[in-house]
């Protein structure tokens, strides 16, 4: 069926049980994509994996976050209808080896990446009470579970070509796949009008957790003239990391809990630089948002970020090196706002464009 002839679909978006209690980039990705698909005419409902789902009511199912295969396996066993996967597939090996602390670090450093993910799944069950609803996962392990999902899915929608290459390399995936990037909400974020930027104001927006590497950013900007504002909630399993950040913070660091978009935009419009020095990012939605608002951005050199931000449009840093982070921030703060990157984002990365692509690909496979 040609995309323009496609009838309205009843679509179920399904993602992790902590999608709203511990919001992240995937929370925004799912919500905004659903919103824009509804504007096209589709009926989209969002479920967390621990919720009851009326499978018979939907034409297709779309799962997010392949890193938690046990959540997906339970649901695909309940229905034979088509399903798609947005993998949001991270490679945390370097983070596990170099930066994870405490008992978790000792355990994961002694295991393969797949075994580490299996142990983390069990730990979430014991510590947070998250249900493991798939016996297949418990009996066959992480890699076999991911391969089963990949072998049965209608198609994958990775966020970048880099992510797709990683999936192919790790799991030998040869099935159908189309790149569906992430985006920004142009109606919310945009270039400021008449707002003066503070050359010393540096933002870091995102969940506070070891992978996001806020502690290294705090150390990097210690005893500098920069005012660092860290916006976000600590992840449930990273309270100790959050306390380490607070203890390390000097007078030039401010912590702000999650705030609404209107207030967040005001920070994006006033700041000179936004920094996301993570150990791994598939995208870094807050980097997209900040850049669209006119901030210069400092991003990690780990992951898929370069698919979105060409090197001449952003400042890259090594998350393991505080000198590298500080140098990138100083260069970004001294440079004029990057209008070229803003134009690139406006042209390629809007949620309406993401929904249009997804609509086209649904029609392609159904």
* 39 HSE (CA, 13 A, CB side): 13
**pLDDT at site 195:** 81
The mean-pLDDT minimum among 135-144, 162-171, 322-331 falls in: 135-144
Residue 229 dihedral angles phi and psi, to the nearest 5°: -115, 115
Residues 364, 2 contacting (CB under 8 angstroms): no
**pLDDT at site 137:** 84
Q: Is the pLDDT of residue 121 over 90?
A: no
- What average pLDDT does this structure show over 304-319? 97
Q: What residue spans in the chain does CATH classification 3.40.50.2000 cover?
A: 3-183+350-365, 198-348
Q: What percent of the chain has pLDDT over 90?
A: 73
**H or E segment to which residue 76 belongs:** helix 69-76
**pLDDT at site 98:** 80
Q: Is the pLDDT of residue 123 over 90?
A: no
Confidence of residue 3 (pLDDT cuts 50, 70, 90): very low
Overall fold of domain 198-348: Rossmann fold (3.40.50)
d(CA 350, CA 188): 11
Three-state DSSP class for residue 25: helix
Q: Is the pLDDT of residue 47 over 70?
A: yes
**pLDDT at site 138:** 82
The mean-pLDDT minimum among 94-108, 126-140, 194-208, 239-253 falls in: 94-108
Given CATH 3.40.50.2000, say whether it is the number of domain 3-183+350-365: yes
Three-state DSSP class for residue 14: strand
Q: Is the pLDDT of residue 273 over 60?
A: yes
Considering the entire predicted model, what is its pTM?
0.91
Q: Is the pLDDT of residue 299 over 50?
A: yes
Average pLDDT, the chain: 91
Q: What percent of the chain has pLDDT over 70?
A: 94
d(CA 78, CA 55): 8
d(CA 350, CA 32): 10
Closest C-alpha to 190, from 133, 134, 253, 265: 265
Confidence of residue 129 (pLDDT cuts 50, 70, 90): low
**pLDDT at site 126:** 60
The 10s digit of each residue's pLDDT in 204-251 is: 999 999 999 999 999 999 999 999 999 999 988 789 999 999 999 999
The DSSP output letter for 187 is T
The 10s digit of each residue's pLDDT in 159-215 is: 999 999 999 999 999 999 999 999 999 888 977 777 889 999 999 999 999 999 999
- What average pLDDT does this structure show over 290-302? 96
- What average pLDDT does this structure show over 344-366? 96
Closest C-alpha to 273, from 322, 317, 212, 234: 317
In the chain, % helix, strand, coil (3-state, to 5) comes to 45, 15, 35
Confidence of residue 45 (pLDDT cuts 50, 70, 90): very high
């Amino acid at each position: 069926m040609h995309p323009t002839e496609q009838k309205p679909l009843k679509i179920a978006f399904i993602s992790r049980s902590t999608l709203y209690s511990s919001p992240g980039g995937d929370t925004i990705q799912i919500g905004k994509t659903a919103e824009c698909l509804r504007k096209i005419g589709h009926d989209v409902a969002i479920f967390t994996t621990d919720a009851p789902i009326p499978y018979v009511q939907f034409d297709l199912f779309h799962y997010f976050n392949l890193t938690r295969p046990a959540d997906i396996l339970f649901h695909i066993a309940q229905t034979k209808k088509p399903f798609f996967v947005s993998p949001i597939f991270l490679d945390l090996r370097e983070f596990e080896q170099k930066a994870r602390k405490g008992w978790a670090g000792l355990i994961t450093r002694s295991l393969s990446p797949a075994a580490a993910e299996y142990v983390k799944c069990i730990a979430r069950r014991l510590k947070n009470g998250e249900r493991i609803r798939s016996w297949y996962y418990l009996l066959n392990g992480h890699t076999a579970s991911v391969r089963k999902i990949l072998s049965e899915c209608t198609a994958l929608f990775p966020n970048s070509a880099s992510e797709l290459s990683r999936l192919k390399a790790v799991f030998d995936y040869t099935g159908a796949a189309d790149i569906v990037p992430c985006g920004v909400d142009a109606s919310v974020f945009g270039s400021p009008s008449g707002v003066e930027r503070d050359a010393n104001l540096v933002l870091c927006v995102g969940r506070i957790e070891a992978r996001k590497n806020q502690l290294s950013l705090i150390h990097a900007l210690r005893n500098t003239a920069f005012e660092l504002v860290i916006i976000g909630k600590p992840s449930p399993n990273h309270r100790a990391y959050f306390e380490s950040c607070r203890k390390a913070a000097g007078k030039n660091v401010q912590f702000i809990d999650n705030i609404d978009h209107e207030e967040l935009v005001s920070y994006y419009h006033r700041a000179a630089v936004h920094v996301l020095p993570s150990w791994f990012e598939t995208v870094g939605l807050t980097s997209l948002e900040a850049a669209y608002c006119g901030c210069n951005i400092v991003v990690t050199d780990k992951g898929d970020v370069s698919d979105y931000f060409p090197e001449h449009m952003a400042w890259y840093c090594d998350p393991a090196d505080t000198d590298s982070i500080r140098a990138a921030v100083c260069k970004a703060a001294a440079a004029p706002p990057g209008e070229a990157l803003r134009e690139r984002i406006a042209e390629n990365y809007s949620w309406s464009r993401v929904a249009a692509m997804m609509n086209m690909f649904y029609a392609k496979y159904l």
